Every structure is written in C-alpha cells, then in structure tokens.
Amino acid sequence: MRRAPDVPVSQTRRNVTGAAVTTLGLIAGLWAQELVDLFAFGGRLDSLGIRPRDADTFWHVFTAPFLHGGLGHLVANTVPLAVLAFLSAVRNLWRFLGATLLIVVLGGGLVWLFARGGSLHLGASLLVFGYLGYLLGVGWWERTPAAIGVAVLTFLLYGGLLWGVLPGSPWVSWEAHLFGFLAGLVAAALLHGRPAKR
C-alpha cells in the first residue's frame, strides 16, 4: 500500500474551496437551467435528452445529464449529486473535470447505443452514479488511506443506490444509472493508474 504524500494545510484549504465552489456552481447551474426551462420554455428543453440510436441526436449526450423532467426530478438528484461531486472534486479539480467529461461522453454514449428504444433519457443521475463509481474505483486503484477512506464513506452513504442499476420502473432510466456507474469506474482506472502491488 502506498503512503499518501503530505499535503500542506494551505493546499488542502484551496482544494476544499475549489471543490465547494465547483459543486455550488454545478448545482446552481442545474437549478437555473430547470427554472428557465419550466418558466420560459414550458419544459421543451427536455427534448434534448438522449434518444437511443437516433443518429441526429447523438450530441444530446452532452446535454441530457444537465436536464430534468421537472422540479421533483431535480430535487431527487440534488443532494446526492452535491455530496458525490464535492467528494470527487476535493482532492484534484482537474481530475474531477476529466472524470466528468468521461462519464458524460462514455456513459451517455452507452445509453445512446444500448438503452431502450423509443425512450427519452435525461437527468443528473448519470453523473450521480458516475461519481459513485468513480469514488469507489479511486479507492480500488489508488489504495491510499485517503482514497480508501473516501470510498468507504461513499459506500456507507450511497451504496444503496447500486440497486438502481437494475431494471425497475419504466419511468426511471436504469440504463443511465448502470452506464454512468461503469463510466465512473473507467474514469477512475484511466485517471488513477493501476492498483499498487502488495
């Protein structure tokens, strides 16, 4: 097991501040977008969700994770997204942004390829499950005390969400949950290297 390098207190404060500002910006942006969509567009922006195997709308993989089917949908995603995004960003903001891009493109791309036809997939649950997979994957790949501690905390807080990768309600995109989670694991593997040798 590798020993995590000592991090100066000032650097830790900068990391926490950067992660908090980024997380607040993400949540504020989602809420602003949803309110504008509801009151200015009457919910029509939801058409920018992912429509599986519709070649004309593949680019919707970049918009779908930031759209919601109403305030109730957004409320359900807000707290887990804020917690998991903050935990993902607090150690390294650039890796967090790289992981987010991988989750959006890879997870969304797999939804576009393999999800149920004739359905519309949107919502930040792709990111929620992506960050869940990412944090658990970082614990596995890094094997440092900090990474393992965060992975354990993440599992204790949100491990129950993993049931959401299984088919259930026809109104819930379990495909976005599954492929978001897998994309998070891939992001962890690509950004955090191989597990340390025992």
Q: Which domain holds residue 44?
A: 9-192
- Is 1 among the domain residues? no
Inside any domain, residue 187:
yes
Q: Does 197 map to a domain?
A: no
Residue 3 resides in a domain: no
* Residue 198 within any structural domain of the chain: no
Domain CATH code at residue 77 = 1.20.1540.10
| Number of domains making up the chain | 1
Write the pLDDT tens digit of every residue in 118-151.
899 999 999 999 999 999 999 999 999 999 999 9
Q: In this structure, is residue 36 part of a structural domain?
A: yes
Structure tokens at 15: 């990391």
In a domain, 78, yes or no: yes
Tokens describing residue 97: 């942004």
Interval 54-113: pLDDT, tens: 999 999 999 999 999 999 999 999 999 999 999 999 989 999 999 999 999 999 999 999
Asked if residue 48 belongs to a domain, the reply is yes
Alpha-carbon distance 75 to 71, whole Å? 6
Please tell me the least confidently modeled range out of 17-26, 86-95, 148-157, 185-194.
185-194
pLDDT of 198 above 60: no
